[in-house]
Amino acid sequence: MHSSTTAATSPTHSSAMASMTSILLRCSLLVLLLVQSTHSSVTPQPKDAIAEEHKQPHPSSSSTYVVLTNHLAKPSKFDTLERWYASMVGKNSNRIRHTYSTVMHGFAVRLTDGEAQRMATVPGVSRVYKDRVYHTQTTRSPWFMGLHDDFGAWPDAEFGDGVIIGFVDTGIWPERASFNDAGLSPVRSTWRGKCVDAPGFNASLCNNKLVGAKSFVAFSSPRDIVGHGTHVASTAAGSEVSSADLFKFAGGRASGVARMARIAMYKACNRGCLTSDVVAAIDAAVSDGVDLISMSLASRPEPFYDDLLAVATFGAERRGVFVVLAGGNQGPEASVISNVAPWMTTVGAATTDRVFPATLWLGNGVVLAGQSLYNIPFSQGAGMVPLVGSSCGSDDLTPDKVMGKVVVCSDGAGASAGFYVQRAGGAGMVSADGTERFWDSVMAQPFNLPGLLLSSTGAKKLDDYMTAVAYPVASFAFTCDTVTGENRAPMVAGFSSRGPNPIAPEILKPDVIAPGVNILAAWSGAASPSRSDKDPRRVEYNIISGTSMACPHVAGAAALIKKRHGGWTPAMIRSVLMTTAGPLDKDGRDIVDSGSAVGAANMGATPLTAGAGLVLPRLAMDPGLVYDAGTQDYVDFLCTLNYTVEQMRQFVPELTKCERTIPGGVANLNYPSFVVVFDGRTSVRTVTRTVTKVLARPESYNVTVAAPDDVKVTVTPATLELKRPKEKMSYTVEFRAMAGAKVRPAGTWDFGHIAWENREHRVRSPVAFKWDN
């Protein structure tokens, strides 16, 4: 349950083009809000030592220190940790700034250096740390993806300078600092786009950063009144901003992934997106001369000939425009992925290493961790309050039911419901993100009253407690901090739509994952942070989540690649994003799927949820080999799907008949991933791929393979020797299900990979095996 408008289901499909123009594509304005809290990780030292993050002279005046405690050592005479902490500080307990009760136990307090030395000797105190200045990267995700100011992809690609990204979205709020053009040269002379005057939008607001703005929504200017378009544009290509935050959460430096790329906004959406508007926007963007298009929108998948978005993006690909789209927010159910054509780059959402903890203390002593952007600190010592369950519909939130109580919403209500809870006299609210198994992947939302979101795991514990006692009570604890680097990341978000591909099962989707949970970026001045009409607050930056947020991260990465390798085809760019993606988390472990069922032993993310892995622009700059494909390959792909001439002409009007199909079926499309189906008729599947060398010097590659124990994989040749630039070489892969293999139920999936490696490069492709016996 994320506070996003869900992708609309399309009307019953028809192959007639005319009937499609009225289909409403619900933008995945996939807004799953999340906050974060800062807390340092340090190496253990002797009990009486003070760990200093910076060696510098101590001022004689007081400073902030973090006191780490062993909460199990709390003397029994104190009924709460907060009272114990207050006793340590004595008469100066008002100097306590925060208390920590989730990822660690302790408190932050103003102390002189001498007081801190004495605090380190107090029984129950584990360590005392002098506070340090954190330079939090607000849109932290570019740094989490491995981008650095001084080396690697950013300087190598000149931060994407001059590349033009077209956004098909809700418009833009041009006055935001993220769209400042300081230091940017004029847009290239071949650019045909422009900013269009409209009521409430002056074309003079555009500059060398915002180089185009048009609206395709009736009676609407390019100005963003929703917030979504402003957010995604600044995520992909926002200029560097030295200080940005939301209610002091996630404060610090902000930058788009390609901070010197240019933005052209094509408004085709408000709350939803009409297909007719979207197609017009794509058409204009390609005509204007954009280098790539980013679209954070999704709808129910349809056969490609019934999907005008597929048709329009096919046309963009024919003209060399790279297109990246959100995969949708319908997870964790299987086979709900949207935007699955092979000429689309489809993106799933993942977490970063930043969270915004808040806690709920239950009357039975259980402490539940969640996330919140409620920005008034207070501790559990504030006292227990009765809990009451509610559907959190406006009719159910009446004063006689909720006055003075913490409302537990049963339907996953978000921050917008808080205004109804407050109106009825509620003391706070708790909701559950039913798609997320782990608390550090839930959405942080900007509650107007004490409130937090729990994971499905936490929600079950809360439900068990409320069922077991007649008068359930609880208390909140909010530190209003931003914790970075402590949590396991990336994890695939439970809401992120996943495969298998419902339209072409032998094309693996999503292609990659990128940061999409709790992303801070620029926001519209016309929209509240909760997106509730009852919310009077206005902010310059907002923290939201969804595959809508993941998509522009990949658009920004593609812009960096385009700047470095201007002659590459869209398929080559997709290839390097996939074959250099990271299948492991920041600590070298398998990426976890937060959509896995509570209690399930297998928590690992598979290629059906994570695709090839997390996009890593640094590696994508120098891939070694690429898998290329072009218009004719996609025509052959559609012909292999047995589309009629009439259906084919939607993509290729000049086509008179299908001249050829792909030998061996659609699994042999030259795609950077593999799907192998054992259907009971054969135990052997053979596929072919062709790689293109992109380095000037000669190279040799050896193959490595990972597969289920009872599948034998033979790659021929096992070594590739490539000498000339742009040289192509093909290889075949035989997948053989061994005799005596364990019997698997129909629909079972297993996974592996094929990688071409040398001392400098690793070109890795995920493999998904399906048993359809």
Distance CA 202, CA 589 (A): 50
- Is 307 strand, coil or helix? coil
Q: Which of 372, 548, 594, 596 is catalytic?
A: 548
Q: Are 500 and 597 in contact (CB under 8 A)?
A: no
Q: Which helix (H) or strand (E) holds 279?
A: helix 275-288
Does residue 169 have an active-site annotation? yes
Closest CA relative to residue 628, chosen from 679, 574, 665, 578: 574
Distance CA 241, CA 228 (A): 19
Token pair 């994952």 in the structure block, residue: 513
Closest CA relative to residue 227, chosen from 185, 176, 170: 170
Q: Which of 131, 169, 511, 636 is catalytic?
A: 169
Name the pairing type of β-strands 63-69 and 625-626: unpaired
Q: Are 54 and 572 in contact (CB under 8 A)?
A: no
**Type of residue found at 431:** S
Q: Are 457 and 437 in contact (CB under 8 A)?
A: yes
Interaxial angle between packed helices 228-237 and 547-564, expressed in degrees from 0 to 180 and rounded to the nearest 10: 30
Tokens of 142: 């570019």
Q: What share of the chain is helix, strand, coil (3-state, %, to 5)?
A: 20, 25, 50
How many residues appear in the chain?
773
The three-state (H, E, C) secondary structure of 418-452, written as one string: HHHHHHCCCCEEEEEECCCCCHHHCCCCCCCCCEE
Distance CA 527, CA 224 (A): 9
Q: How many CB atoms lie within 10 A of CB 700?
A: 12
Distance CA 392, CA 399 (A): 13
Q: Which of 2, 39, 105, 228 is catalytic?
A: 228
Q: Are 533 and 217 in contact (CB under 8 A)?
A: no
Q: Are 595 and 496 in contact (CB under 8 A)?
A: yes
Cis peptide preceding 510, ω within 30 of 0:
yes
Token pair 């290493």 in the structure block, residue: 353
Closest CA relative to residue 429, chosen from 399, 451, 444: 451
Name the residues annotated as catalytic.
169, 228, 548
